[in-house]
Amino acid sequence: MLSLEGAVIAQDGFTLKADFRVKAGRRVAVLGPSGAGKSTLLAAIGGYVTVTQGDIVWDGRSISNLQPNQRPVSNVFQDNNLFPHMTALQNVGLGINPNLRLNAADKQRVLDALIAVGLSGMEDRLPAALSGGQQSRVALARLLVQQKQLVLLDEPFSALGPAMRIEMADLAQAVGARIGATVMMVSHDIKDVERFAEDVLWVEDGICHLPRALGDFLKDPPAGFTSYVGE
Amino acid sequence: MARRVLAINPWPGLIVAGLVTFFSLGTLAAVAIRADSFGALDQFDVAAVRFTIVQAFWSAVLSVALAIPVARALARRSFWGRRALVTLLGAPFILPVIVAILGLTAVFGRNGIVAYGLNLAGLEPISIYGLHGVLLAHVFFNLPLATRLLIHGWGSVPAEQFRLAASLDFSGRDVFWHIEWPMLRNLVPGLLVVIFLICTTSFAVALTFGGGPKATTVELAIYQAFKFDFDIGKAALLAGVQFTICGVAALASLWLAVPQAVMGGQDRVFQRFDTGRVTSKIVDGVWIIFATLFLAVPLLAIVMQGAPYILSLPTSVWSSALRSLVTALGSAGLTIVFAVSLSLAALRWRWLEGLGMLSVAASPLVMGTGLFIMVFPFVEPARVALLITALVNAVMSLPFVLRAIGPAVRACEDRFGPLSDSLGMTGWARVRLVILPRIRAPLGFSAGLAAALSMGDLGVVTLFARPDGATLPLQIYRLMGAYRMEQAMGAALLLLFLSLALFYLFDRGGRGHAKS
């Protein structure tokens, strides 16, 4: 279980307050107007931004002072998820060993992960030789080998077209289920959210509201959500 | 507050920073300890100080004054061969000084093409030695530099301004005063200071074209005090004077806006509306032809006069070429290690990059003097001549190379830092797998630049080398001194070829198989 306990995150003169819990294995959409602090929230959980007050706790253990790679967290960012000079196999292999020294068993794990995301036979391609959707699949395959219990997706598919986004949201859901991870995804698109999420975490004006079940949230949305969606 | 992940150990960078500081300032301290009091400057030394400043001043003024019309012509005319000419303008930066000296001698010297023409007209040939020659060589090197930077300046003027000028029916003079003059006023003072600084430390030019009581620079005086009188105290004192001159000029360049793009930069011809008049076309054409001839003819002279002799060069030339190649490759390697370490440490402490630029103000001859004083009690200086040459060349190349590598490393970390952190890529794995592959192009360019600069260097090595341990530029200088001009020409062509080949191969290697 992830819990933010009275956490205050300050970045560039902007402050975000977060005090909530997410149960293990849930799929949570992080929603809110742009500039509300969604990405800052994920950056704090991921270890890129320090919390100035309070604590971030995973399974009863504080992770606030750990380096990003020491946390039980794997990421897909908005962009720059793949190294352009490495093949698909190498890009995924980094999730097993950051030195890229892979033995036969490691390589097999990578190949299995690539097959699981639908990229069999493409392991030797450079990102430039893959479509945008295929590049996203490589990033998702890496989550499979990393086996981290908390997956953070920060608008990972925003560069893709609507149909592809939905396909990727489904795949992200499958990947999360396969490793049994808690998945938090920032999104701008309510369609992605309806497809993917069990819970919604509403962020507005520097405050993270408590996560609510998706149906509940859509039935009785906060005032800011109505003006955000424009309905 | 953003968390600063300390992914790469900054110690190598700190060590390099210490080394650069030691080479730039520590050598000066070594020199200062040995220096006599300032009263020991005799009248010849005072004359050397005056000559250094006077020639550097006029070199800067002439280079910039001639560069303005050339740059203006190139900025507003497109013609066949324009790109080749702009590329040629970049060449003097990696051209060995001694090659240019020989080329200029072939054109402007006593037996040169110009003298031949003057003779036909019944005029006395002009002497290439003394102030004339020094200015000629300095303009040869710095006119192209100034022109490239000024083309950049013209390129930075928004195209709308010229369109506006056309709609307001500006004359050529109006365009100059309202649009071009404000740009020049910003750029020219910095340019003058940079060229002044370059010309105070261009030892090889003074060594070949200068000399005598009337045309000795401070650096040449250091060399003479060392080489002929073995008067270390005097050399040390002069080194202090030289450092002061460079330091003042470097401080002035910090204070003024100094144009940055040394190489590369954008190169477009803007559509202009004030260029239709026939007189302006003729004037631009004349300037373009002047610049082309001034740069190309001396180089062609080397190629044509050197080619017949290149295969019959004595063994001593070939062995010195080998020595130079080893030194240049070593220096390029050191430069890359220095620049990458420093850039990585500068991710954390930005001012370290500034420290790497310190050698801009340092004179290689002062470094050489200081190092000579320091190693003299322990080893015979000639035994470490090539090592010290490679090290000093690397430190001297660092300011140019850091401008390419520093921003590339920062851009790579900005883009791939979070991903690398997330995957736990730290230390050498991060450098090897992420940073080096991503900065391949600037790395290749930098290695080429450093190798070419070291290949052509005729500076520190003159203080250290024994007769049988010369580098190729030093060997050429000796051939010139022995009036074996054919061999000197042949060797110069060899040096020209090697320098350009080194630059080309490294630069190409960095760009080859470019992956997105």
| Structural fold of domain A1-72+149-231 | Rossmann fold (3.40.50)
Quick count: other Cβ atoms within 10 Å of Cβ B61? 15
Residue B412's CB is within 10 A of a number of other CB atoms, namely 20
Complex-level ipTM beyond the 0.95 threshold: no
| Residues 6 or more apart whose Cβ sits within 8 Å of residue B279 | none
Q: Are strands A182-186 and A27-31 parallel, antiparallel or unpaired?
A: parallel
Which domains are delineated in chain B?
A: 1-34+313-516 (1.10.3720.10)
Q: Is B83 on the interface with A (CB under 8 A)?
A: no
| C-alpha dihedral sign at B461, B463, B469, B470 | positive
- Give the list of residues 6+ apart from residue B338 with CB closer than 8 angstroms, or none: B16, B19, B20, B356, B394, B395, B398
Task: Please give chain A's pLDDT, 231 residues, in tens.
Answer: 999 999 999 887 889 999 999 999 999 999 988 888 898 999 999 999 889 999 999 999 999 999 898 999 999 999 899 999 999 999 999 999 999 999 999 999 999 999 999 999 999 999 999 999 999 999 999 999 999 999 999 998 888 888 888 899 999 999 999 999 999 999 888 888 888 899 999 998 889 999 999 999 989 888 888 888 775
Q: Residue A104 CB: number of other CB atoms within 10 A?
A: 7
Q: Which residues of B touch A48 (CB under 8 A)?
A: 2-3, 5, 418, 421
User: Can you read off the two tokens belonging to residue A20?
Assistant: 């909530």
Q: Are B401 and B449 in contact (CB under 8 A)?
A: yes
**Chain B CB within 8 Å of residue A13 CB:** no
The string of pLDDT tens digits covering residues B263-277 is 444 455 655 655 667
**Beta-carbon separation of A83 and B416 below 8 A:** yes
Looking at every residue in chain B, the average pLDDT score rounds to 87
- The answer to whether residue B408 scores a pLDDT higher than 90 is yes
Quick one: pLDDT at residue B515? Answer: 44
Contacts of A161 (CB under 8 A, 6+ apart): none
Q: What is the per-residue pLDDT across B164-195, written as a single tens digit (0 to 9) for each? A: 888 888 877 888 888 888 889 888 998 999 89
In whole angstroms, how far apart are CA B266 and each of B29, B83, B100?
42, 12, 27
Average pLDDT over residues B383-401: 92
Q: Do the beta carbons of residue B19 and residue B342 sit within 8 Å?
A: no
Cβ within 8 Å, pair B421-A80: no
Strand A73-76, strand A150-154: pairing: parallel
Task: Please enumerate in sequence order all residues whose Cβ is within 8 A of that of B408, keeping only pairs 6 or more positions apart, or say none.
Answer: B343, B438, B439, B441, B442, B443
Please tell me the distance in Å from A126's CA to the nearest CA on chain B.
Answer: 9
Residue of B nearest to A96 (CA): B423
Q: Contact A52/B1, CB-based, under 8 Å?
A: yes
B418 touches chain A (CB under 8 A): yes
Q: Residue A185: which of A205, A174, A199 has the closest Cα? A: A199
What are the residue ranges spanned by the domains of chain A? Answer: 1-72+149-231, 81-147
